[in-house]
Structure 1
């Protein structure tokens, strides 16, 4: 769901989609969207594709920026996420948001349909990043831009009273990812698939006390729901891990780096 945050290539049921939407609405992720929109530098009339549109928060913000003469299209593989995005599809004085169920390896639009393609927290879930970028290149007009945001999970610092358990939980969570360290190689892959990288920056997330209304507060629920049955972890292990983090209060610490790439189509 190039829409906003994590695990965007997972098929979410209605409950999980609502859980993820609540994370997208935290100030941490709102700040992330501001960084993405600054990098997009959209103009009135731009045609934009959001790959992995998620709950549609970024799409709605972009629709206001491109105005009624622009075009915003969003694709996602999750019916439940698209249902949430449809609640944001009508933007006053903005472009209407067109939504379709599709994946990035087969984008349902003709060649040279868009000025910009944006995708946040999707490519790290893809087995064939180069193939996806070639498909993105196909639907971009000449000199069009792609803006990608992905996480290097090796940058994660998360305090726990049980470091061994934390390592086991995070290792299990990374089983959901095709490449948990994609930003390290993404510029090279962009260059090999018909793009010229023009801008790179870090987008950090820092939480220094436990609060359910932060990115990491919501991430605790997502991780603890995912890891049972992975890496020999049980539901009891996941609960103990989550309870430990929540008990830290003002001693809580979470830091994670996301990486933003802008590239121009050759």
Structure 2
């Protein structure tokens, strides 16, 4: 049974762990959205986040799904439709970023990252579009790419192959979904060093910061601010917004990540 809500509803995939998606989810909740937290395996962190939002007076539902499995994605969006009766924002943060030298990269490595980073994003956008096309107010879909897809660095061949599709998916879904409901907007955020992975060496972390024009590391808050900017401005669609402190413009060495 649909439990309709008058508040806008936002889904953030990959928002269980305390990383970028988690921050985006919390900021949307603070803005007054009813929220849906998607996670794959981080059950404890997901439930803790959902409880934090509820304690603060918000509504948050945690849903487990593997975005690389079509039946899981269909089930997740049907659950959202049943529980909320609407869906206004989807932010696709679920992804995997795994380094490996090119010579050691296997077909399985490429397929794994494609299934999560590319297929998972495609499936979530498709299902979100079905809901948004049927509601007069449309909605906003945000994909998450990477600043370096146009300037890839070494040892992430499978990752860049999978993330390289995100700008095209953004433009394609913007065109397709606007033809079904011109109130649907689809945009992309391309983060730079906003939350560097733990496995980077100190020298790599310093390089990532020095490689930006602004000479500082960003934070997940910068991504959340970009999502909210897309929500506030309803005359923008089909664009990819770098949130990278000018990283793509700065001189760099291809053997360094981030």
TM-score after normalising by structure 1: 0.50
Given candidates 82, 90, 103, the residue that maps to 2:46 is: 82
State yes or no: 1:46 paired with 2:8. yes
Paired with 2:148 and 2:91, the residues of 1 have a C-alpha distance of 21
- Whether the 8 Å CA contact 1:60–1:97 is kept in 2: the answer is no
Given candidates 110, 117, 121, the residue that maps to 2:81 is: 110
Paired with 1:204 and 1:90, the residues of 2 have a C-alpha distance of 30
State yes or no: 1:139 paired with 2:98. no
Runs of 5+ unmatched residues, structure 1: 1-43, 158-165, 207-213, 225-241
Aligned residue pairs: how many?
A: 180
- Whether the 8 Å CA contact 2:14–2:92 is kept in 1: the answer is yes
- Whether the 8 Å CA contact 2:10–2:35 is kept in 1: the answer is yes
- Whether the 8 Å CA contact 1:154–1:181 is kept in 2: the answer is no
More strand by share: 1
TM-score after normalising by structure 2: 0.51
3-state DSSP of counterpart to 1:50:
strand
- Indicate the residue corresponding to 2:166 in structure 1: 182
Q: Which has the higher contact order (CA 8 A, sep 6+)?
A: 1
- Whether the 8 Å CA contact 1:57–1:85 is kept in 2: the answer is no
3-state DSSP of counterpart to 2:90:
strand
Provide the aligned C-alpha RMSD in A. Answer: 4.3
- Indicate the residue corresponding to 1:169 in structure 2: 155
- Whether the 8 Å CA contact 2:143–2:166 is kept in 1: the answer is no
Runs of 5+ unmatched residues, structure 2: 1-5, 68-72, 96-115, 236-258
Displacement of 1:128 in angstroms is 5.8
String of CA shifts for 1:155-186, please: whole Å, max 9, x gaps.
Answer: 576xxxxxxxx9432335536xx333412441
